[in-house]
Structure 1
């Protein structure tokens, strides 16, 4: 037994060393981009040291080459051909938008991202084959070797591989990867990623975001494993998948037990008196598997497994509970999003990836709900080794279209197959809070049939799905599950289902100097650092009451802050914990006695305990220091924020102006967030920064951020007073003379918009059409898809002349081209109908219904169109 463990450990070490040895190394000017805060591991990343560990711990081979490192990249239009010239270097596998990529740029739905690097053909003597593996690419990838298309894959979270042997030539070869990722504007499951991040949704992660590697294998080799423990029967059901069923499998576990049989058939490996896996004792068996042909060993892999059982059954009081290994076990968990300040979807190092799991356990939790994201294989490996129960979410369906639903189901099938063997995963979560929910009964039952060895949570947070009948909320699910913020709460009892609280908490505790955006933080409720510990303790006491009533599990939001969401137990940079971990373990002992045993070694976990003192109590003395001439930048920044918190607007303006005027480089995310927060008038120093540097500002804060800020200030300062009130009668000629010469195009754009909205509000329809036409013709890029859609709709409802309706149709089409939504499609269909294009209108209205099947108004409109009735008042 000891010898086998040594051999497998040595094999993993060899793989890591060999992969690192062959990683691409080149002199470069690569540099991590700036972020407001970063973790301690970011500084360990370099182009020659990028996630060097073997990426697939359950199928370990020795002959591999790590392709992480510097690649060339270029962003083109979506339909452009492969570029001949690339624009720079990107550090793979960090997402394009991340600081660690060295690029930190968004990928728009109208664009395509290209990667290129050279690879050396491995030794293929003896009819060996070369596999190219991708951990994950978000979202649609096309792979080329030496100009030849090798294959495509759609899905942002699943690993995939191609046999590239026949495309390789001796020596150097060109590898190109093309990526299309519409993020939240396509039919692709994208999780919490959005193009325009805010509360609850976060920065997108486009392109390659997990390890890429080459592996040399025999022609017939082990493709995959399917491992199912059965502790009651004392065996492991093992299926080893190959391309040829005539081969033989020989497997030996670290308990000395063996099994031999045919490939692609289920074999039973004896595991008598099994050492069971649990959070309290995460025991893993090593497993060596050999593929033989006529007695000769063809392929060998190292793997592992855990013996555990999860089910819902009644306790001694006839309450349906969650049972682990035939014992009731409360699932005390957290909602883990898996985001990093410098890497977004990708942890900077393997140690960082492991730290998160250890930190959660160290706080006394035994469960992680992995929220709307799949992690790299090594995350689940660390979960298995550390000992946590995992609730694995599926990645939410994008919308209600048939295309999105088909992609959702395709990816769910791949997700379960990919994650099937990890003992830590005990629950699959299908739908979250009614988001794009459909066919829940069918899909829940499909999931249970696909994997009867686990529990299925068909719908977590059903209380957010308001339109659903009570009987259908948890149809076919093993659990009833509600979300209650801040909570806690308990779901209703339904026979045969265990009760869980799928989300609760969300208490914001802002931590100065450890915030993604210190001008804007969010949580469901907020408490001062000194009040958090007693607040949380009282909430857990209430949770204990619900546990005695039948609650079997609870998921607290959340372990770590994420961007502006500051309701984590630990800050986003993983530096400050808001309640001491030993205190958290004592609090959690009320629900989970074993929590006291979950302390991590100091070498595995370190974080500073938050300062509970209230800095605002020092405001008067700090203000006096400012007035006496203290001007250090961090002092001015924190004093500005303090003045704003205390609603001292006069001094907030004065101190923030002093800070902004002293900035040597205002064009960082941290500084522009601050300038944006404290720029309210044309006299503030930030106004000219936004007015005169729109391109620089937009590159950091997002498209149109600068112009929208400037226009809002101009309107408030120069126009608002003349257009406010029902009796307002603006002198547009004088307003134009006062605004346009002073502010140029920005002034004219907001002047025309104000004029357009004024005529609209006063139902001066022809004047509205004239003003809106001038605005859109001259400043099309500044007009949002929402305004375009609204202007088109008001013409449809109130004007019947053909010229105006054709203008409205054009504006509606422009809105659709920017973003296609059910409401924009409905507008377009209605205008077509009013213009007499009935068949085309019906076709478009049906598209609106496909996107939003629950919208009764669209269905009524469609029926009127079919009957030839008016759809306008």
Structure 2
């Protein structure tokens, strides 16, 4: 534990991992396990930084910051917030190994919040807007084999603009949390041949016993034929993926079940007549080695199907691999007291996922945040379904309407249309902000659809920045027709997507089965218990307050037994409890914010989750 002395920083700012990691040497794991290449230079570590009131390159820097921790995060050691009228500058040097003829240099950023401009040796290399998404710059013509200077200029408007911001708020409190900024995911370099494999998309065809694959080529020269070798994933593959010094590329394929020659940018079919299906209980992965000329990458995919079908009782339900499958989930905000948006280490990712699996949950709803690729990789390999929210944006939310009045509307089964006449109420008057949402929705789907754990996209949550959600659902469907869509989680249902999505915190849970869509209880619970020494502040935000493990467990058991289990039997196909851990003033987590204490009795949670799953899966 520790106290910060400026800008109202938290009393709780550590986790079980805080003291065991070297923040200046953090996050050295391979950042993109779903597409691994041997050429890899990690640029995380100590960078120079400074805050300036102007956009020009500063003459001096004021300190050192460990990338990828933001300056607001305790693990950065900086303890300062970037204001909307300031610029944050980063600087470091790097050297390249001797390049082979024709090799290109790619600079990757996992995420930079919100706007950034990148300079190599004083020359502009590119810009990016969107604080949650990865981007890549080709810096071949600017980079030298000798020392290179990398500069990054960041500006973060946080919640003062229409940009996507998630749960960040400059005036934090309640259900909104500390605003952070800057580089918060891994920065890394690759040396690739020309042409090179730029992206890979595997699309399982469960009913057709095959997988469709499309490989895109990058570089200045045209792509050449690609040799694709598929085999079941082995322990050796996992070892290479988790060893930053020895990424998977270079492992010799053995036990191949399919070998095909592919053409760049054209879809091909990989037949798998006796495939092994992926489920949370048996997360079986296939390994694919791709070779195009001098380039080689190693990937993975899984054979699974998630859709809506009618069960034996005539109810529309979520099916997994053509069987009714209850998705018992938990809301996952992805915040950490020591790293804010950046988990302290890879082990912390694994801990959260395994902790929820041990409690009997089989799904996480990643709430209004996009994680680094390694988080999704761990869900893929450990067996955890994921519902992925798009990141909310828009102007300042009118909480009297989208939170309080909307809750009453929901209880009365009253909704409003989210077209142009409601844009002011739903904080979406800016045309450029609406365009930016669709651009980021496209980029989110394209960045994450390679992960088999993701089974549902969620464009909007509780009316925050919601607009034209039917158009958004159709847009997502055009990008990815293989996954479910929860077009409007909670309030303001426009009768689109695959799910009738309900939130239940107050009043009475009322619903009716529908002839096309399935029913999902996408938020409920939020029961709180504040534990001294493991809470962020003395303030408390939650939906039902308890003062002991016994009382909280009784309340949880009563809620599940009296309301949720009967609802599941009547047609609810997925439930999402709020939430995985406390986050700042919001103390309604199953775990405390530091992940030290499980609040309810674990055996009670496991038993009730099994009852939920038995109510559906036995059909």
TM-score (norm 2): 0.86
Instruction: Tell me the equivalent position of 1:774.
Output: none
| C-alpha distance in structure 2 between counterparts of 1:552 and 1:205, whole Å | 36
Aligned-pair CA distance for 1:477: 1.3
| C-alpha distance in structure 2 between counterparts of 1:341 and 1:108, whole Å | 20
Among candidates 385, 390, 395, match of residue 394 of structure 1: 390
CA RMSD of aligned residues (A): 1.7
Aligned-pair CA distance for 1:476: 2.3
Instruction: Tell me the equivalent position of 1:730.
Output: none
Among candidates 586, 608, 611, match of residue 590 of structure 1: 611
Q: Deviations over 1:31-67 (max 9, x none)?
A: xx98524111111222552111000001111111111
Gaps of 5+ in 2: 1-8, 233-255, 396-427
Q: In structure 2, the residue corresponding to 1:590 is in which secondary structure? A: helix
Aligned-pair CA distance for 1:313: 1.0
Instruction: Tell me the equivalent position of 1:461.
Output: 490
Q: In structure 1, the residue corresponding to 2:347 is in which secondary structure? A: helix
Aligned-pair CA distance for 1:279: 0.9
Q: In structure 1, the residue corresponding to 2:513 is in which secondary structure? A: coil
Report if the CA contact (8 A) 2:569-2:615 is conserved: no
Report if the CA contact (8 A) 1:258-1:270 is conserved: no
| C-alpha distance in structure 1 between counterparts of 2:150 and 2:274, whole Å | 50
Aligned-pair CA distance for 1:450: 1.5
Among candidates 66, 74, 79, match of residue 50 of structure 2: 74
More displaced stretch, 206-215 vs 126-135: 126-135
Among candidates 253, 276, 280, match of residue 230 of structure 2: 253
| C-alpha distance in structure 1 between counterparts of 2:23 and 2:568, whole Å | 50
| C-alpha distance in structure 2 between counterparts of 1:491 and 1:133, whole Å | 46
Report if the CA contact (8 A) 2:315-2:513 is conserved: no
| C-alpha distance in structure 1 between counterparts of 2:273 and 2:393, whole Å | 42
Instruction: Tell me the equivalent position of 2:369.
Output: 373
Report if the CA contact (8 A) 1:334-1:558 is conserved: yes
Residue 485 (str. 1) matches residue 505 (str. 2): yes
Instruction: Tell me the equivalent position of 1:278.
Output: 279
Report if the CA contact (8 A) 1:277-1:283 is conserved: yes
Aligned-pair CA distance for 1:527: 1.4
Instruction: Tell me the equivalent position of 1:318.
Output: 314
Gaps of 5+ in 1: 1-32, 293-297, 466-472, 596-873
| C-alpha distance in structure 2 between counterparts of 1:246 and 1:234, whole Å | 28
Greater per-residue helix proportion: 1
Report if the CA contact (8 A) 1:153-1:160 is conserved: yes
* Distance change >3 Å, CA 344–CA 48, structure 1 → 2: closer
Among candidates 423, 437, 441, match of residue 408 of structure 1: 437
Q: In structure 2, the residue corresponding to 1:474 is in which secondary structure? A: coil
Instruction: Tell me the equivalent position of 2:542.
Output: 523
| C-alpha distance in structure 2 between counterparts of 1:483 and 1:48, whole Å | 41
Among candidates 10, 15, 35, match of residue 59 of structure 1: 35
Aligned-pair CA distance for 1:570: 0.4
Aligned-pair CA distance for 1:394: 0.5
Aligned-pair CA distance for 1:580: 3.3
Q: In structure 1, the residue corresponding to 2:211 is in which secondary structure? A: strand
Instruction: Tell me the equivalent position of 1:177.
Output: 152
Aligned-pair CA distance for 1:330: 0.8
Q: Deviations over 1:473-496 (max 9, x none)?
A: 233211101111157835333320
Query: What pairs up with 1:568-647 in 2 under 5 angstroms?
Result: 568-593=589-614
| C-alpha distance in structure 1 between counterparts of 2:613 and 2:544, whole Å | 26
Aligned-pair CA distance for 1:164: 1.1
| C-alpha distance in structure 2 between counterparts of 1:538 and 1:381, whole Å | 35
| C-alpha distance in structure 1 between counterparts of 2:144 and 2:266, whole Å | 37
Residue 95 (str. 1) matches residue 63 (str. 2): no
Residue 158 (str. 1) matches residue 133 (str. 2): yes
Q: In structure 2, the residue corresponding to 1:417 is in which secondary structure? A: helix
Instruction: Tell me the equivalent position of 1:618.
Output: none
Report if the CA contact (8 A) 1:157-1:373 is conserved: yes
Q: Deviations over 1:626-667 (max 9, x none)?
A: xxxxxxxxxxxxxxxxxxxxxxxxxxxxxxxxxxxxxxxxxx
Report if the CA contact (8 A) 2:40-2:190 is conserved: yes
Report if the CA contact (8 A) 1:127-1:218 is conserved: yes
| C-alpha distance in structure 2 between counterparts of 1:364 and 1:592, whole Å | 9
Among candidates 300, 307, 327, match of residue 331 of structure 1: 327
Q: In structure 2, the residue corresponding to 1:264 is in which secondary structure? A: coil
Q: In structure 2, the residue corresponding to 1:347 is in which secondary structure? A: coil
| C-alpha distance in structure 2 between counterparts of 1:543 and 1:523, whole Å | 19
Instruction: Tell me the equivalent position of 2:5.
Output: none
Report if the CA contact (8 A) 1:250-1:258 is conserved: yes
| C-alpha distance in structure 2 between counterparts of 1:47 and 1:234, whole Å | 46
Instruction: Tell me the equivalent position of 2:400.
Output: none
Instruction: Tell me the equivalent position of 1:510.
Output: 530
* Distance change >3 Å, CA 183–CA 585, structure 1 → 2: same
Q: Deviations over 1:308-327 (max 9, x none)?
A: 00101111111100000000
| C-alpha distance in structure 2 between counterparts of 1:365 and 1:285, whole Å | 24
| C-alpha distance in structure 1 between counterparts of 2:477 and 2:302, whole Å | 21
| C-alpha distance in structure 1 between counterparts of 2:145 and 2:209, whole Å | 50
Greater per-residue strand proportion: 2
Report if the CA contact (8 A) 1:491-1:501 is conserved: no
Instruction: Tell me the equivalent position of 1:233.
Output: 208
Report if the CA contact (8 A) 1:277-1:284 is conserved: yes
| C-alpha distance in structure 2 between counterparts of 1:112 and 1:455, whole Å | 40
Instruction: Tell me the equivalent position of 1:42.
Output: 18
| C-alpha distance in structure 1 between counterparts of 2:580 and 2:508, whole Å | 17
| C-alpha distance in structure 2 between counterparts of 1:143 and 1:291, whole Å | 30
Instruction: Tell me the equivalent position of 2:339.
Output: 343
Report if the CA contact (8 A) 2:195-2:223 is conserved: no
| C-alpha distance in structure 2 between counterparts of 1:382 and 1:100, whole Å | 23
* Distance change >3 Å, CA 43–CA 84, structure 1 → 2: same
Residue 561 (str. 1) matches residue 582 (str. 2): yes
Residue 217 (str. 1) matches residue 192 (str. 2): yes
| C-alpha distance in structure 2 between counterparts of 1:342 and 1:402, whole Å | 37
| C-alpha distance in structure 2 between counterparts of 1:230 and 1:336, whole Å | 29
Aligned-pair CA distance for 1:582: 2.8
| C-alpha distance in structure 2 between counterparts of 1:116 and 1:420, whole Å | 33
* Distance change >3 Å, CA 331–CA 209, structure 1 → 2: same
| C-alpha distance in structure 1 between counterparts of 2:596 and 2:507, whole Å | 27
Instruction: Tell me the equivalent position of 1:867.
Output: none
Larger radius of gyration: 1
Instruction: Tell me the equivalent position of 1:124.
Output: 99
| C-alpha distance in structure 2 between counterparts of 1:37 and 1:188, whole Å | 27
| C-alpha distance in structure 1 between counterparts of 2:487 and 2:127, whole Å | 31
Q: Pick 1 or 2: higher relative contact order, CA cutoff 8 A, min separation 6.
A: 2
* Distance change >3 Å, CA 444–CA 105, structure 1 → 2: same
